[in-house]
Amino acid sequence: MTAALTTDKERALELEAVNLTLSWDGGQDVVVRDINLSANAGEVICLVGRSGCGKTTILHAISGLLVPLEGHILLSGEDVTGVPGKISYMLQKDLLIPSKRIIDNVSLPLVIGGLSRKEAREQAAPFFERFGLEGTEQKWPSQLSGGMRQRAAFLRTYLMGNEAVLLDEPFSALDAITRVDIRAWFCRMVRGLHLASVVITHDVDEAVSMADHVYVLVGTPRAGIPTTVAGEVVVPRSAREGVDDFSLTSEYLACKRRVVELLGA
């Protein structure tokens, strides 16, 4: 639980979803068929697909909340299929508890893990500055802006102490300018903390600007067509380095074009 709190060292972690086949609520109708994904430490992978294609269902399965019909979730080779608590999950909404001050919201995973509230606050407090939350410790969630709430939610996700994190459209509720800022901040944090992260988005620009790998999902489960991976687009990290605005480069446009083609748009 506390591994991520103590060190930023390089990890050889790999998160894998192997031959994942899923249904909604354990029924027999297949929503997602034979999906394979992998993310290494310090990598951001994005899942892109149309609304209702089963992206959130995939994250539920990876987090252990949903048991797959077939397939496995591996964390550095260890089978964690259907076991919640091994992989941190930040759901679509920030889900800060209104009745808890920010310090108690972000340190909640530590309390759940068995620490006293005082110990949990002491462990969480040093991270506030690094996550750009200094001065908000004693505030209520209603007193924070959308961007700050997302930062607090991400710190809480980080304090779950796992080296792999899942994020379900984490920036969708933010305004455009805040979204660009917090996206860049998030990528710096993931790479700095060497987390393996899987992010859902249906914004192609967001996916290409953040991800090391973009997995394009295609399918219409409600029409009986299970979702599969139409293709994987690798966004070379070297293309971002030394560039003022990656979104103006030819590499960015080539990646975006490929993603759009795979989506069939």
Partner 1 sequence: MSGAVTSPDARAYAVRRIMVPVCTMAVLLVVWELAVRTGMVPNFLLPSPTQVVAALVADASLLAQHAATTVIEALLGLGIGVVVGFVVAVLMDRFETVYLAFDPLITISQTIPTVAIAPLLVLWFGYGLAPKVILIVLTTFFPVAVSLVGGFRSVDPDMIDLLRTMGASDLQIFREVKLPSALEHLFSGLRISATYAIVGAVISEWLGGFSGLGVYMTRVRKSFAYDRMFAVIILISALSLALMFLVDLLERLCMPWKHTEGK
Q: How far is the CB of 65 from partner 1 (least distance, A)?
A: 6
Nearer to partner 1 among residue 141 and residue 226 (C-beta): 141
- Write out the two tokens for 52: 């209702």
Q: Is 142 in the site for partner 1 (CB under 8 A)?
A: yes
Site size with partner 1, rule: CB under 8 A: 29
Q: Where does this chain touch partner 1 (CB under 8 A) — which range of 3-11, 134-142, 176-184, 247-255?
A: 134-142
- Write out the two tokens for 249: 């480069």
**DSSP code for 54:** S
Nearer to partner 1 among residue 152 and residue 229 (C-beta): 152
Which residues within the stretch 157-216 sit at the binding site for partner 1 (CB under 8 A)? 160
Q: Is 95 in the site for partner 1 (CB under 8 A)?
A: yes
Q: Where does this chain touch partner 1 (CB under 8 A) — which range of 58-66, 123-131, 190-198, 199-207?
A: 58-66
Report, in angstroms and rounded to the nearest whole number, the Rg of the chain calculated over CA atoms: 18
- Write out the two tokens for 136: 């908000």
AA letter at 198: V
Q: Where does this chain touch partner 1 (CB under 8 A) — which range of 17-25, 45-53, 123-131, 143-151?
A: 143-151
Cα-Cα end-to-end distance for the chain: 42
Are 74 and 16 within 8 A, CB to CB? yes
Q: Is 99 in the site for partner 1 (CB under 8 A)?
A: yes
Query: What H or E segment, with its residue span, contains residue 264?
Result: none
Please pick, from the candidates 8, 19, 29, 65, the single residue that binds partner 1 as defined by CB under 8 A. 65
Please pick, from the candidates 64, 82, 132, 231, the single residue that binds partner 1 as defined by CB under 8 A. 64
Half-sphere exposure of 85 toward its Cβ, with a 13 Å CA cutoff?
Answer: 7
- Write out the two tokens for 210: 């953040």
Phi-psi region of 259 (alpha: psi -120 to 50; beta: other; left: phi over 0): alpha
The binding site for partner 1 (CB under 8 A) comprises 60, 63-65, 84-85, 87-89, 91-93, 95, 97-100, 108-109, 111-113, 140-145, 160
